[in-house]
Amino acid sequence: MTQPQSIVDELQWRGLIALSTDLDALRGEIARGPMTYYCGFDPTAPSLHLGNLVQILTLRRLQRAGNRPLALVGGATGLIGDPRPQSERQLNTRATVQEWVERIRAQIEPFLDFEGAFAARMVNNLDWTAPLSAIDFLREIGQHFRVNRMIAKDAVSARLNSEAGISYTEFSYQILQGMDFLELFKRYECRMQTGGSDQWGNLTAGTDLIRRVTGESAHLIATPLVTDSSGQKLGKSTGGGSLWLDAEKTSPYAWYQYLINVEDATVGQLLRAFTFLDQEEIVALEQETVERPHLRAAQRRLAEELTTLVHGKAETDQVIAASHALFGRGDLAGLSASTLRAALTEAGLVTVPGAQPPSIAELFKAAGLTSGLKEARRAVAEGGAYVNNIRVTDADVPIDPTILLHGRWLVLRRGKRTVAGAEVTVS
């Protein structure tokens, strides 16, 4: 099967170019030699999420094609906040933003190569923004922006037409982002910016500023928002609001389970956007989804590839082992405490305190696997009740504390597929 001939072609095949400036001019720029390009990440939370990963991987793809990435973590823009269409952002303290800058920087760095001819560089826009006085900012940068164009940006116009309005602080955000591109253009000969399609207004602020100040042109690529078939941003149905890259906010097990359960309609798109599998393998997985959807081969490959990419192979192996072990196809005792807890939390974990060890029936009722003790006894009598993957035969016998996994947890299962966890604390 024919492979894409250039990185621009590959990005197009992977569905990663929603908006752009002149792609033919960009192809020519890349062909002439290593191009420096950048993407910015604002520290508006202590962690990046799945949507940000599209941008990180786009940086990586372009670097692997022989270009030089700049990853900007916005210590200055993070103090302001990109305008949201609905309401004003709460301003975080300088100390909080600085802490989040370091956290996000640490999340980005493992994806890029910082050595060799195409070495990446981490940059912080606070370095050139903090020394700039308000007068200098208005004279040197502000004079190049036209208010009528600024208020036409989607997020700004939405806020102007709302009761909330918009502060001058957030209104100025696009000027700061435009200044970032100009500064990187001057310092590092940065010729392209990438970002999400919802950022297009902010992206064009930079190219417009470069043209006004230097007379030269620069390039933009905007990736599409990654959504499910209903148009909802991917990961928003997780309850926590996002699929976070931070393992403390979204456990590797929860991350893996979300991906392995994505719908058939979007799994091909996600393989293209989030993995480095080649075209031939992705097309084969898409075809298998059409012909044998019950095998969920594409989802399994997506979950394994992306969990390994974000959390590493050892953690992925633990997660896969937990997925098997919870349903009786692996060794529960071999799971780490953190992986087991994460798996049971996803399955449904209840805490069962008491002066005495609870009975099997009491555990099944407490975990919601049965509606009451009578139903629990019936499930045991019918041979469909398991504790730590061992079939139980007496519903009223207290559990033996020595079988608690890591001294705390039990895996409860009714039938083949209904699983819950119990944390038993005996006083």
The single-letter code of the amino acid at 412 is L
Report if pTM > 0.75. Answer: yes
Q: Report the pLDDT averaged over residues 54-80.
A: 97
Kindly list the structural domains of the chain, giving each domain's residue range(s) and its CATH number in brackets, ordered by start: 7-225 (3.40.50.620), 226-311 (1.10.240.10), 335-427 (3.10.290.10)
Quote the mean pLDDT of the chain.
92
- In this predicted structure, the answer to whether residue 345 has a pLDDT above a threshold of 50 is yes
> pLDDT category, 1, cuts 50, 70, 90?
very low
- Return the pLDDT at 117: 94
Left if phi > 0, otherwise alpha if psi is -120 to 50, otherwise beta: which for 407? left
- In this predicted structure, the answer to whether residue 2 has a pLDDT above a threshold of 50 is no
Residue with the bigger pLDDT between 216 and 164: it is 216
- In this predicted structure, the answer to whether residue 223 has a pLDDT above a threshold of 90 is yes
What residues does 425 pair with on adjacent strands?
A: 353
Angstrom distance (rounded) from CA 52 to CA 242? 11
Sheet of 409-414: strands edge to edge?
A: 349-354, 418-426, 409-414, 385-387, 390-391
Angle (deg, nearest 10), helices 313-325 and 297-311 = 140
Q: Report the pLDDT averaged over residues 7-22.
A: 97
Question: Which residues make Cβ contacts (< 8 Å) with residue 304, sequence separation at least 6?
Answer: 256, 316, 320
- Return the pLDDT at 76: 95
Residue with the bigger pLDDT between 159 and 17: it is 17
Angstrom distance (rounded) from CA 53 to CA 70? 15
- Return the pLDDT at 236: 57
- Return the pLDDT at 21: 97
Handedness of CA 302, 305, 309, 314 (dihedral sign): positive
What is the gyration radius of the CA atoms in the chain, in angstroms?
Answer: 26
Angstrom distance (rounded) from CA 347 to CA 358? 20
Q: Is residue 214 within a helix (H) or strand (E), and if so which, with residue range? A: helix 200-214
- In this predicted structure, the answer to whether residue 417 has a pLDDT above a threshold of 50 is yes
> pLDDT category, 165, cuts 50, 70, 90?
confident
Q: Which of 71, 72, 78, 73 is nearest to 94 (CA)?
A: 78
- In this predicted structure, the answer to whether residue 285 has a pLDDT above a threshold of 50 is yes
Which range has the worst mean pLDDT, 28-37, 73-82, 145-154, 326-335?
145-154
Angstrom distance (rounded) from CA 226 to CA 82? 19
- Return the pLDDT at 242: 83
> pLDDT category, 154, cuts 50, 70, 90?
confident
> pLDDT category, 156, cuts 50, 70, 90?
confident
> pLDDT category, 235, cuts 50, 70, 90?
low
- In this predicted structure, the answer to whether residue 155 has a pLDDT above a threshold of 80 is no
